[in-house]
Structure formats: structure tokens, C-alpha cells
């Protein structure tokens, strides 16, 4: 978790520094928001173009079982309302996991510098997905790290958007954080128009440097690609189905990621196997009927394994240590 917190801090510190060297020069776009604000409760709305919501939604659906994310660029009105005019997604080296996401910092630095210096935009927020975790608001960790970054970097205010999906459809909700203010304001989207006036121009500019594309997960080694390990996966499923109270257990394969979902009467368990398992450990996420979600990892002494170790035996050791 410390790594995630550091990357939040690193991301915002960098973009705050480059924003100090630029000023907004898009007055015609900003002026178009001045009359509408007085008619709506301020701080309870966030402006966005439909093109940007659509883009974020496509990114979320690219990763329906793991987290993904990106940054939001635009400006704040004089009354403190965020206006999102351009959204970016994950960079090619972003780290996607079941319960956290880390942006590709080099990608963000490169694109962020262009959006700020060439197009006069500000980095006003971030977004990430909770995919199918059933959590449509910032987690406790999200809120803590966001508030910590804002207070320490004196960002005044920041927009955080949380996405969810069911594999087909998606939802995206905005939340506003403010400096030295505990908690956050839940907001509502106000759609300004279909197409952002910046989308086409920025896409064209970035396409010349081959950066602004939807980044699909790369093909890479997966423990499941080894034939003997696929046999051991059946052993893992049989082991889980035999657990007391288990209703059923089935595996899902998406790209190089294997997940096993086991249903019980009072909960269901989602076991995430990273592509380099057993070198990297499993993660168990418990979903209870009351909406509570709990993530657990094995004891540190059980995670120093190699690709040559028997995946079934490693799984049993790690799973049993979690369930003790």
C-alpha cells in the first residue's frame, strides 16, 4: 500500500510543478460556464463532455476484472466547479491489479507536459475503476491518500472519479476533495455537450507520437500457459469445491489473468492469480452480503516462491494461511 501512496504523491507533485509554469489560455471555453453555475448548487456538480465519459467507459470495459485508471484535465471555474475537457487512460506500463492501480509515470509525465504546455489545460483530477467490486465511491484508502496528497501539496481541490462495470455497462461517479477538509463531496455530472472542443485536436497531436491509444493488456508469460499447471488448476478447483459450505467454484481466464470465484451462503471469495504465480502470491477478496469487502494476502514467509514450485502446493499453503 505504501507504493500506491507514493505514486499518488509523485503524480500530483509532478503535475503541480508543471502547472505553475503555465496559465490557462482557453477563455472562450471557460466563459461558456458562467451563467449556468448560478442555477445549480455549486460544489455538487462537475461539468464534463460526453466524449470524455465515453472514453473513460471504454477504458473501464477494457479491464472488467482488474482496476484501471487515468487522469482528468480541464480547469476550475471561479466558483470552484470542475470542468473536464480531456481524459487520459492507463499508460503502457501501468500496473493493474484487482484492488489497486498505478499509472505509468513516464507516460503521464510526457502526456501531461503536452496537455499543460501546448493546450493550456490543468490537471484537475484522476479516475480509477473498482470494476466489479461493488464499491461506487472512494475506498477508505482512496480517501486517505487523496486527502494526504492534497494537504501536503496544497492543491486546494481535486476531483476523483470512481468507475464500476458489470462487463457490459459502466458507471462513473465524481467526488470532490478539498484541502484541509475531512471527507469529500459527492457530486453529479452536468453534461456540457457531446464532443469536447479539445478531444480531436489533442488526439491528432498525440497520434503523431503514437501515444494516445487504448492500451490493451500485453501478451506476457502466464503460469497458466504451462500445460502441467492447467492440470493443477483443476486440483485447485476440486480443493475449493470440497470446502465446507461451498456452493460452487469456477475459474475465469482473461488475457493472462486467472480468477477463481467460490460462492458460499454468506459471501463469495475471489482469488486472483497474478501472471507470474507462484513467484507472486495470490490475493483473496471476500465479498459479504452486507456490501463489506475485505482483501487478504498470505503471510510474508509464504510468498518467496519460484516458477518451478508446484502451483497446487503453493496455493494450498497460501490459501490456508489466509483462512486461519
Same domain, 262 and 164: no
pLDDT at residue 108 in the model: 93
pLDDT at residue 37 in the model: 44
Number of domains in the chain: 2
Among 207, 234, 265, where does a domain finish? 207
Same domain, 319 and 179: no
Same domain, 260 and 182: no
Same domain, 89 and 195: yes
Same domain, 170 and 249: no
pLDDT at residue 11 in the model: 60
Same domain, 177 and 114: yes
Among 207, 232, 264, where does a domain finish? 207
Whether residue 116 is contained in a domain is answered as yes
Whether residue 214 is contained in a domain is answered as no
Same domain, 46 and 133: yes
Question: Could you tell me whether strands 157-165 and 170-178 are parallel, antiparallel, or unpaired per DSSP bridges?
Answer: antiparallel
pLDDT at residue 282 in the model: 85
All residue ranges of the chain with pLDDT < 50 are 1-5, 19-28, 30-32, 34-42, 211-219
Give the Cα separation of 221 and 275 in Å (integer): 7
Domain that holds residue 302: 223-323
Same domain, 166 and 300: no
Residue in the block written with cell 484487482: 98
pLDDT tens by residue, 219-267 = 455 788 788 888 898 999 999 999 888 888 888 776 567 888 888 888 8
Residue 209: exposed, middle, or buried by beta-carbon count in 10 A (0-12, 13-18, 19+)?
exposed
pLDDT at residue 195 in the model: 95
Same domain, 297 and 150: no
pLDDT at residue 302 in the model: 64
Whether residue 315 is contained in a domain is answered as yes
Whether residue 213 is contained in a domain is answered as no
Same domain, 94 and 236: no
- Coil vs helix vs strand at 113: helix
pLDDT at residue 246 in the model: 87
113-118, Cβ contacts within 8 angstroms, sequence gap of 24 or more: 113/18, 114/202, 114/205, 114/206, 115/73, 115/86, 115/88, 115/202, 116/15, 116/18, 116/19, 116/21, 116/22, 116/73, 117/18, 117/21, 117/22, 118/205
Q: Residue 198 maps to which CATH number? A: 3.40.140.10
Whether residue 160 is contained in a domain is answered as yes
Same domain, 169 and 281: no
Whether residue 106 is contained in a domain is answered as yes
Whether residue 123 is contained in a domain is answered as yes
Among 180, 207, 234, where does a domain finish? 207
Same domain, 175 and 232: no
Amino acid at each position: 500500500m505504501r507504493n500506491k501512496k507514493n505514486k499518488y504523491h509523485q503524480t500530483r507533485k509532478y503535475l503541480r510543478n508543471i502547472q505553475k509554469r503555465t496559465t490557462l489560455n482557453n477563455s472562450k471555453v471557460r466563459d461558456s460556464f458562467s451563467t449556468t453555475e448560478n442555477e445549480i448548487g455549486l460544489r455538487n456538480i462537475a461539468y464534463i463532455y460526453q466524449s470524455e465519459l465515453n472514453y473513460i467507459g471504454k477504458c473501464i470495459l477494457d479491464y472488467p476484472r482488474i482496476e484501471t485508471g487515468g487522469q482528468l484535465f480541464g480547469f476550475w471555474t471561479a466558483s470552484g466547479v470542475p470542468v473536464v475537457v480531456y481524459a487520459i487512460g492507463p499508460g503502457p506500463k501501468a500496473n493493474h491489479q484487482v484492488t489497486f492501480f498505478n499509472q505509468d509515470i513516464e507516460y503521464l509525465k510526457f502526456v501531461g507536459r503536452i496537455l499543460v504546455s501546448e493546450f493550456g489545460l490543468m490537471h484537475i483530477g484522476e479516475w480509477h475503476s473498482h470494476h466489479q467490486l461493488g464499491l461506487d465511491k472512494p475506498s477508505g484508502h482512496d480517501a486517505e491518500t487523496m486527502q494526504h496528497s492534497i494537504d501536503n501539496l496544497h492543491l486546494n481541490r481535486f476531483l476523483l472519479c470512481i468507475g464500476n462495470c458489470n462487463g457490459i455497462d459502466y458507471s462513473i461517479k465524481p467526488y470532490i476533495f478539498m484541502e484541509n477538509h475531512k471527507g469529500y463531496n459527492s457530486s453529479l455530472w452536468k453534461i456540457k455537450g457531446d464532443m469536447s472542443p479539445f478531444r480531436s485536436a489533442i488526439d491528432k497531436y498525440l497520434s503523431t507520437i503514437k501515444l494516445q491509444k487504448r492500451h490493451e493488456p500485453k501478451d506476457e508469460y502466464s503460469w497458466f500457459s504451462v500445460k502441467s499447471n492447467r492440470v493443477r488448476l483443476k486440483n485447485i478447483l476440486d480443493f475449493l469445491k470440497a470446502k465446507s459450505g461451498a456452493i460452487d467454484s469456477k475459474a475465469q481466464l482473461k488475457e493472462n489473468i486467472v480468477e477463481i470465484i467460490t460462492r458460499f451462503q454468506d459471501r463469495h471469495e475471489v482469488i486472483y492469480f497474478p501472471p507470474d504465480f507462484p513467484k507472486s502470491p495470490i490475493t483473496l477478496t471476500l465479498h459479504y452480503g452486507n456490501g463489506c469487502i475485505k482483501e487478504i494476502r498470505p503471510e510474508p514467509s509464504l510468498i518467496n516462491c519460484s516458477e518451478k514450485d508446484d502451483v497446487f502446493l503453493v496455493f494450498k499453503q497460501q490459501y490456508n494461511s489466509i483462512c486461519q
